[in-house]
Copies of this chain bind each other. A is one copy, B any other.
Amino acid sequence: LAAAKRAGRVRVPTHVVSSICDDRGEEPTYNGVSMSELMQGDATVADAIGLLWFKRRLPGYATKFIEMCVVLCADHGPCVSGAHNTIVTARAGKDLISSLVSGLLTIGPRFGGAIDGAAQYFKEAVDEGWEPDEFVEKMKKRGIRVPGIGHRIKSKDNRDKRVELLQRYARTHFPSTRYLDYAVEVEGYTLQKAANLVLNVDGCIVGMFTKVEIDSIVKIGYLNGLFVLARTIGLIGHCLDQKRLGQPLYRHPWDDVLYTK
Q: Which A residues contact B (CB, under 8 angstroms)?
A: 1-2, 4-6, 10, 12-24, 26-28, 30, 34-36, 38-39, 43-49, 52-53, 67-68, 70-72, 74-81, 83-85, 87-89, 91-94, 96-111, 152, 158, 160-162, 165, 169, 220-222, 224-225, 228-229, 232-234, 236-245, 247-261
Once A18-B238, A105-B102 are accepted as A-B contacts, the answer to whether A81 and B71 lie under 8 Å apart by CB is: no
CB-contact partner of A96 in B70, B85, B224, under 8 A: B224
Q: Is the CB of A261 within 8 A of B228?
A: no
Contact B165 A35 (CB under 8 A): yes
Q: Report the separation of the CA atoms of residues A85 and B2 in the bound assembly, to the nearest whole angstrom.
A: 22
Give chain B nearest CB distance to A206 CB in angstroms: 16
29 CB < 8 A contacts A-B: A1-B255, A1-B260, A14-B255, A16-B87, A16-B258, A18-B77, A18-B258, A21-B78, A21-B234, A26-B158, A27-B160, A27-B162, A35-B72, A35-B161, A39-B68, A39-B71, A39-B165, A47-B71, A53-B233, A81-B251, A91-B110, A92-B109, A94-B106, A99-B105, A100-B104, A101-B104, A101-B105, A152-B251, A220-B244
User: Closest residue to A47 on the B side, CB-wise?
Assistant: B71
A18 to B30, CA, bound (A): 35
Q: Are A250 and B84 in contact (CB under 8 A)?
A: yes
Q: Complex Cα distance A42/B165, Å?
A: 12
Interface centre among A28, A92, A242 (most CB of B within 10 A): A92
How many angstroms from the CA of A12 to the CA of B2 in the assembled complex? 9
Among B76, B101, B109, point to the contact of A23 (Cβ < 8 A): B76
Bound Cα distance A15, B53 (Å): 30
Given contacts A221-B240, A251-B81, A257-B18, contact A93 B68 (CB under 8 A): no
The verdict on A258 contacting B110 (CB below 8 Å), with A71-B48, A98-B97, A221-B240 known, is: no
Instruction: Please indicate the chain B residues that have their CB under 8 angstroms from the CB of A77 in the complex.
Output: 18, 21-24, 28
A92 to B87, CA, bound (A): 16
Closest B residue by C-beta to A253 = B15
Are A75's CB and B21's CB within 8 A? yes
Of B45, B52, B75, B228, the contact of A52 (CB 8 Å cutoff): B75
Do the beta carbons of A240 and B79 come within 8 Å of each other?
Answer: no
